[in-house]
Amino acid sequence: MPRVELRFQWARLGDLSGVEFHAAMVQRVAVFVVEQNCVYQEADTLDPVAWHLLAWSGGQLAAYLRLADPGTNYPEPSLGRVLTAPAFRGQGAGQQLLAEALRRGDQLWPGQANRISAQQYLLKFYQGFGFAPVSEVYLEDNIPHVEMLRPG
């Protein structure tokens, strides 16, 4: 399958339009609540203070994540809610999204490590970006996770 071309949009919540944030929430709920059959509070207190990265292909949201400032969720900047919309999987959207997020994090906080609570099945994906496990496997919302750190 060909590699999808993405247009990246970085914004704080207050700078996103209602339509843009709605697109992100539709995908977040579709992936993390419906697809993963996991009932939990999807919108949370990090949304108003995090950076949101939306990756668009044409008019469709192909991928999304949020980047929390150091000291907000962890001592280090942290990535979360990382997703690729089902229609864009297998086209390199996730790799492009993560590369852009790490580039931006390194620009905002040079020399700082990055932390992520990764679903266990994505361990190798994140290791490909320099993340290493720093915890045992634990359950978060009944899904096996591993805390990972990427050195600064």
49-99 pLDDT, tens digit per residue, is 999 999 999 999 999 999 999 999 999 999 999 999 999 999 999 999 999
Answer whether residue 49 is part of any domain.
yes
In SS3 terms, 2-44 reads as CCCCCEEEEEEHHHCCHHHHHHHHHHHHHHHHHHCCCCCCCCC
Cα separation, 60 vs 137, whole angstroms: 34
Q: What is the pLDDT of residues 98-135, one digit of tens each?
A: 999 999 999 999 999 999 999 999 999 999 999 999 99
Answer whether residue 73 is part of any domain.
yes
Answer whether residue 84 is part of any domain.
yes
- Token duo for residue 19: 């339509």
Q: What is the pLDDT of residues 32-47, one digit of tens each?
A: 999 998 888 889 999 9
- Token duo for residue 117: 């609570």
Answer whether residue 152 is part of any domain.
no
Answer whether residue 135 is part of any domain.
no
- The CATH number of whichever domain residue 98 belongs to comes to 3.40.630.30
- Predicted pLDDT at 80: 96
Answer whether residue 121 is part of any domain.
no
Given a cut of 80, whether residue 1 has pLDDT beyond it is no
Largest Cα separation within the chain, whole Å, is: 40
- Predicted pLDDT at 149: 98
- Predicted pLDDT at 2: 79
How would you classify residue 84: left for phi > 0, otherwise alpha for psi between -120 and 50, otherwise beta? beta
pTM of the model: 0.95
Nearest to 112 by CA among 70, 67, 152: 152
- Predicted pLDDT at 102: 97
Answer whether residue 77 is part of any domain.
yes
Answer whether residue 44 is part of any domain.
yes
Residue 99: which domain range?
Answer: 7-110
Q: What 3-state class would DSSP assign to 95?
A: helix
Given a cut of 90, whether residue 14 has pLDDT beyond it is yes
- Predicted pLDDT at 145: 97
- Predicted pLDDT at 58: 93
- The domain total for the chain is 1
